Amino acid sequence: MMTLLVVASALLFTDEAALRETFSKEIQAEAAAERVAAVKKLSGAVEEKTIELLAGSLKDKELTVRKAAVQTLEVSTDGGGVAVKPLGDILVDKKEDLDLRLSCAKTLVKSRYKGEVFQILLQTMSSIESQEVHFHKFGFEVTKLLDAYIGRSYGADKLTCERWDEWWSNNSGDLKKEDARQHEEWKKQRK
């Protein structure tokens, strides 16, 4: 069984160009279910061009397609970080579906580029006003994700964002350097 999975994975990785070509046609379908199926076929993608196509699906008019795109990105490898900004745009948008936003947060914390992701998570948490009670549980979930992602916690109270902001002031340079190093490493691996 394991051998079959390895062979299937190898076929996916070697034939992403063909998958992209098929996807480009299938994503044009009028029916949302067909677009969802097209997105899911790219599950496990590793090539930057494929990740870019998936990130483009985050702008689909149908919520089911956007959710499928986030789920597919979560199980793909975004080595270049090309999906970080589109995922972040959804995460910080208070008009978006909360489940979709939380899925974006869960996908973002799998990124190797912590500096950019940290800022998006903090912006999301900081934008929640005390009177926006309907966002409090969501904010708590994002806070837990940030805690696990960075490996420390500042609790979950009204001073949490202030403490994280101070942490960022002290650590942003190191995180940005590490992100740059990781990106260079990723570019070398692609060659």
Same domain, 59 and 111: no
Same domain, 33 and 61: yes
Query: Does the residue 104 lie in any domain?
Result: yes
User: Is 122:161 a contact under the CB 8 Å cutoff?
Assistant: yes
- The pLDDT value recorded for residue 1 is 52
Same domain, 64 and 107: no
Same domain, 112 and 169: yes
CA dist 68 → 19, 54, 74, 100, 162 (Å): 16, 9, 10, 10, 34
Query: Does the residue 128 lie in any domain?
Result: yes
Look up the domain containing 170 and give its range.
96-191
Q: Please report, for the domain that includes residue 58, its CATH number.
A: 1.25.10
Query: Does the residue 60 lie in any domain?
Result: yes
CA dist 17 → 22, 50, 51, 136 (Å): 9, 8, 12, 42
3-state secondary structure of 76: coil
Closest CA to 113 of 75, 162, 79: 79
Please say if the pLDDT value at position 10 is more than 50.
no
Query: Does the residue 4 lie in any domain?
Result: no
Same domain, 111 and 144: yes
Q: What is the pLDDT of residues 97-128, one digit of tens each?
A: 999 999 999 999 999 999 999 999 999 999 99
Query: Does the residue 9 lie in any domain?
Result: no
Same domain, 33 and 64: yes
Mean pLDDT of 16-20: 94
Query: Does the residue 126 lie in any domain?
Result: yes
| 81 φ/ψ sector (left φ>0, alpha ψ -120 to 50, else beta) | left
Query: Does the residue 8 lie in any domain?
Result: no
Same domain, 104 and 185: yes
Of 186 and 37, the structure prediction assigns the larger pLDDT to 37
pLDDT band at 14 (very low <50, low <70, confident <90, very high): low
Share of the chain above pLDDT 90, in %: 88
Q: What global pTM score does this model have?
A: 0.90
Q: What is the pLDDT of residues 125-156, one digit of tens each?
A: 999 999 999 999 999 999 999 999 999 999 99
Decide which of 45, 77, 109 is a domain's last residue: 77
Q: What is the pLDDT of residues 73-96, one digit of tens each?
A: 999 999 999 999 999 999 999 999
Burial status of residue 3 (CB atoms within 10 A of its CB: 0-12, 13-18, 19 or more): exposed
Same domain, 187 and 131: yes
Structural domains in the chain (count): 2
Please say if the pLDDT value at position 191 is more than 90.
no
Same domain, 100 and 70: no
Same domain, 187 and 104: yes
Same domain, 66 and 115: no
Please say if the pLDDT value at position 16 is more than 90.
yes
Query: Does the residue 6 lie in any domain?
Result: no
Same domain, 183 and 104: yes
Residue 7 CB contacts under 8 Å (≥ 6 apart), including other chains: none
pLDDT band at 4 (very low <50, low <70, confident <90, very high): very low
Mean pLDDT of 18-25: 95
